[in-house]
């Protein structure tokens, strides 16, 4: 499945994590779409997603960090990877965010959840192959129209929507030298979701490439979702934004603390 760049780019800024759902099963056409994307968006052999039509309320371990409970969804998606692959976490993040954005474009809501789920229960609902594990899941459905108490608190303080400036997270070329595709890609990556909004990435810039690396500075708030998986989410945003203005490239995976390098095709 090719990346539908325009469709996904339009919802990058709009998409928000939602934790309370109205208990409706997604409409048939919405179900058909998200199941198809789960099955066909497999940019890497080591990562895949599994749609599970099972109410996930019992899957979550009550309080999800500081963000409150997740309730009411009638299905969830498991993001699965081959643990033997050295870049599995970033590949799962990249793939999973594509599915999350397509869900948003289909009028469905989601919420990335790293390790605060009952792993044995999820594993029993997903047909895992040798060396595979579930790295993250998301509920899928229609969020309640009104924010719940926890969501109102988080939105009110703006904690989960604050973003570092690009001057804090970029190194290399001066901003005045950035080509259009690079500027749009970096803006899209800047607003990518990450666990506890830690934004654990650094972008190293060259004329025809963006290198994504893990920012090794100590972070005050940790999470069960890995930094490299979060960087994979930012990678997807970079790719989508570039494609939306007609620029394509290829990813080269790197050794830590590097994650991957996006180089423009000529």
| pLDDT in the model for residue 55 | 76
List Cα–Cα distances, 235 to 23, 26, 86, 220, 242, in angstroms. Answer: 32, 28, 16, 23, 11
- The answer to whether the CB of 171 falls within 8 A of the CB of 203 is yes
Ordered per-residue pLDDT tens for the chain, 266 residues? 999 999 999 999 999 999 899 988 899 999 999 999 999 999 999 999 999 998 777 787 654 444 457 889 999 999 999 999 999 999 999 999 999 999 999 999 999 998 778 889 999 999 999 999 999 999 999 999 866 555 554 444 444 568 899 999 999 999 999 999 999 999 999 999 998 889 999 999 999 999 999 987 654 445 557 999 999 999 999 999 999 999 999 999 999 889 999 999 98
Residue-level pLDDT at 104: 98
pLDDT of residue 156: 44
Closest residue by Cα to residue 99 from 54, 39, 24: 39
**Cα–Cα distance, 232 to 202 (Å, whole number):** 12
Same fold across 5-153 and 162-264: yes
- State the helix-helix crossing angle for 227-244 and 180-190, rounded to 10 degrees: 140
Q: Report pTM.
A: 0.92
19 and 69 Cβ atoms separated by less than 8 Å: yes
Provide the CATH number for the domain formed by 5-153 in this structure. 3.40.109.10
Strand bridging mode 201-206 / 170-171:
parallel
Q: Which sequence spans correspond to the domains of the chain?
A: 5-153, 162-264
**What is the largest distance, in Å, between two alpha-carbon atoms of the chain?**
52
Give the model's pLDDT for residue 221.
46
CATH architecture of 162-264: 3-Layer(aba) Sandwich (3.40)
The pLDDT of residue 224 is 58
């Amino acid at each position: 499945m090719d990346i539908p760049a325009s469709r996904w780019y339009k919802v990058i800024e709009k998409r928000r994590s939602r934790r309370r759902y109205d208990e409706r099963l997604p409409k048939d056409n919405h179900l058909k779409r998200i199941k198809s994307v789960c099955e066909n968006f497999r940019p890497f052999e080591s990562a895949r997603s599994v749609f599970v039509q099972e109410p996930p309320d019992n899957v979550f371990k009550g309080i999800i960090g500081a963000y409150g409970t997740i309730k009411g969804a009638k299905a969830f998606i498991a993001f699965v990877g081959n643990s033997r692959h050295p870049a599995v976490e970033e590949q799962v993040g990249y793939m999973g965010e594509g599915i999350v954005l397509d869900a948003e474009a289909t009028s469905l809501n989601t919420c990335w959840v790293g390790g605060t789920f009952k792993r044995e229960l999820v594993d029993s609902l997903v047909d895992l192959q040798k060396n595979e594990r579930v790295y993250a899941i998301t509920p899928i459905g229609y969020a309640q129209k009104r924010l719940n108490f926890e969501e109102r608190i988080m939105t009110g303080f703006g904690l989960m929507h604050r973003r570092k400036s690009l001057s804090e997270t970029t190194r290399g070329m001066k901003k005045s030298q950035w080509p259009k595709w690079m500027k749009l890609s970096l803006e899209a990556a800047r607003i990518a979701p990450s666990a506890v909004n830690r934004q654990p990435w650094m972008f190293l810039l060259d004329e025809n490439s963006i290198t994504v690396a893990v920012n090794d500075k100590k972070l005050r708030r940790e999470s069960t979702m890995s930094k490299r998986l979060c960087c994979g989410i930012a990678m997807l945003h970079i790719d989508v934004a570039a494609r939306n203005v007609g620029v394509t490239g290829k990813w080269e995976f790197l050794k830590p603390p590097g994650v991957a390098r996006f180089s423009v095709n000529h």
